[in-house]
Amino acid sequence: MRIFVVIAFLLIVGSLASALFYLMRDKGTTNRTAKALTVRIGLSVALFLLLLFANWMGWIQSTGVR
């Protein structure tokens, strides 16, 4: 499960980096920045739902704040 979370987090950071790249390169003339940020939001929501599902299935255990 940790591998999936790390891969998803790297994809989210990569999408954020590509959005920054498109923002600097295109200077707002195209909508590639918005698409990259939309992908980032979709990946973040998917990761959150995966973590909720994994907790519900018992694949991971929440420890709470100590």
Who wins on pLDDT, 2 or 17? Answer: 17
For 33, residues 6+ apart whose C-beta sits below 8 A from its C-beta are 19, 22, 23, 26
Q: State pLDDT tens for residues 31-55.
A: 999 999 999 999 999 999 999 999 9
| In-domain check, residue 33 | yes
What does the alpha-carbon distance between residue 16 and residue 10 come to, in Å, rounded to a whole number?
10
| In-domain check, residue 39 | yes
| In-domain check, residue 64 | no
Q: Which residue has the tokens 């939309």?
A: 38
| In-domain check, residue 27 | yes
Amino acid 65: pLDDT = 74
For the four alpha carbons of 28, 31, 34 and 39, in that order, the dihedral sign comes to negative
Whole-structure pTM value? 0.82
| Residue 61, pLDDT above cutoff 90 | no
| In-domain check, residue 29 | yes
| In-domain check, residue 49 | no
- Domain range for 16 is 2-43
| In-domain check, residue 25 | yes
| In-domain check, residue 53 | no
Task: Please count the structural domains in the chain.
Answer: 1
